[in-house]
Homo-oligomer: A and B are copies of this chain.
Amino acid sequence: MDVIRRPKIDDLVAGMDPMQLLKDMQQGFINYSQGRSVIPPVGELILPERNGEVHIKYGYTKQEAYYCIKIASGFYDNPALNLDSSQGMMLLFSQVTGAPKAIMLDEGYLTNLRTAIAGALVAKAMSPTQVTGVGIVGTGVQARFQLEELVKSGFPVKKVWIWGRNPVKAKALQTHFSRQFEVNIASSTTELAQHCNLIITTTTAKNPLLTAADIQPGTHISAIGSDTPDKQELASDILGKANLVVADSLSQCAVRGEIFHATAAGELAPNAAVELGDLLAGDHPGRVDDGQITVADLTGVAVQDIAIADAVYQAFLAE
């Protein structure tokens, strides 16, 4: 049984081929949508007095070596203690005997990474042909990860607009990427949406930050932040107006995330969403012209955890 700690995990990831990780992630979503993965409902533990929430995501893909349990928490008062709000670990167990094989003390890093890799995968699969501007709503850790993985995926990032409530964090994010590409700070999400036809939202907002009136024809939006029933980044009318709405998991998005809200609001018909794995497998055409508005609701599925944990552990074993 291997205990793999943080600096080692960083080293292992640094040595990996980003394109292979994208392929692994894609295959994970396809396995899931094609019924080859067993993914029970997300476990959730809420600590309201601590401003904390814990998600337990777990499951396995048939015929593989391991089953995976991922514990990822957000304790949102941690930054005041100079600690990352993300905490947690990923666990791999033998599918044959149940014996623990690997404990990855990733401190939330692999969750951030797999979320961003899924973001890059979706951006490549659903964006219009010419992305004139990439808009990032939110200035936290995931905002940075999304941009980094987008670049690593080979996606052409030239002009970026960022928007966040905290000007200091917006400035820091701008500085972080300013040698790689042009980064502008938008004064509002409306301004951001005017410049961008790929928008990625990465906040923990409980009230929508963008409405349908903000969104230009031909825009793709990936909503990353909402993974619980009470979080919402996009006004429901955006999903109502969209030509295509994709869910990373139809069953999860029925009870959490943007699709849950838009369906509850009557803006989106039940069963209107398409599952990401079906789109990635080519069973759904996806975007059919550059004028369409498309939305991907990414709540985070255990197949992503399986994909990243397997990849890291294989790299560890190969050393």
Q: List residues of chain A with CB under 8 Å of any chain B CB.
A: 1, 3, 38, 40, 43-47, 49-50, 52, 54, 56, 58-60, 62, 67, 69, 71, 73-75, 78, 81, 83, 87-89, 91, 93, 95-100, 103, 105
A89 contacts B100, CB within 8 Å?
A: yes
Closest to A46 in B: B38
A105 contacts B60, CB within 8 Å?
A: no
B45 contacts A60, CB within 8 Å?
A: yes
A47 neighbours in B (Cβ, 8 Å): 38, 60, 67, 95
Indicate which residue in B1, B50, B58, B89 contacts A43 across the interface (CB closer than 8 Å): B58
Known contacts A43-B56, A88-B98; 12 additional CB pairs below 8 A are: A38-B45, A40-B44, A45-B59, A47-B67, A52-B97, A56-B58, A78-B97, A78-B98, A87-B97, A87-B98, A87-B99, A87-B100
Closest to A67 in B: B45
A40 neighbours in B (Cβ, 8 Å): 43-45
Instruction: Provide the bound-state CA to CA distance between A81 and B78, in Å.
Output: 45
Between A and B, 21 residue pairs with Cβ closer than 8 Å are A1-B105, A43-B56, A45-B58, A45-B59, A45-B67, A47-B60, A49-B62, A50-B95, A52-B97, A54-B67, A56-B69, A69-B71, A71-B91, A73-B93, A75-B96, A87-B97, A87-B98, A88-B98, A89-B100, A100-B105, A103-B103
A3 neighbours in B (Cβ, 8 Å): 3, 103
B46 contacts A43, CB within 8 Å?
A: no
Q: In the A-B complex, list the 7 residue pairs whose CB atoms are closest, starting with the nearest.
A: A73-B98, A87-B98, A75-B98, A43-B43, A87-B99, A75-B97, A78-B97
Instruction: Provide the bound-state CA to CA distance between A46 and B39, in Å.
Output: 10
A73 neighbours in B (Cβ, 8 Å): 93, 98
A97 contacts B81, CB within 8 Å?
A: yes
B98 contacts A54, CB within 8 Å?
A: yes
Closest to A302 in B: B45
Q: Which has the most chain B C-beta neighbours within 10 Å: A45, A46, A75?
A: A45
A75 neighbours in B (Cβ, 8 Å): 96-98
Indicate which residue in B58, B62, B93 contacts A87 across the interface (CB closer than 8 Å): B93
A1 neighbours in B (Cβ, 8 Å): 105
Closest to A75 in B: B98
B96 contacts A50, CB within 8 Å?
A: yes
Instruction: Provide the bound-state CA to CA distance between A59 and B52, in Å.
Output: 13
CB distance from A9 to the nearest CB of B (A): 14
CB distance from A248 to the nearest CB of B (A): 20
A50 neighbours in B (Cβ, 8 Å): 95-96
CB distance from A171 to the nearest CB of B (A): 27
A45 neighbours in B (Cβ, 8 Å): 38, 40, 58-60, 67
Instruction: Provide the bound-state CA to CA distance between A88 and B74, in Å.
Output: 25
CB distance from A93 to the nearest CB of B (A): 7
Closest to A48 in B: B38
A59 neighbours in B (Cβ, 8 Å): 45
Closest to A85 in B: B98
Q: Which has the most chain B C-beta neighbours within 10 Å: A58, A62, A81, A97?
A: A97
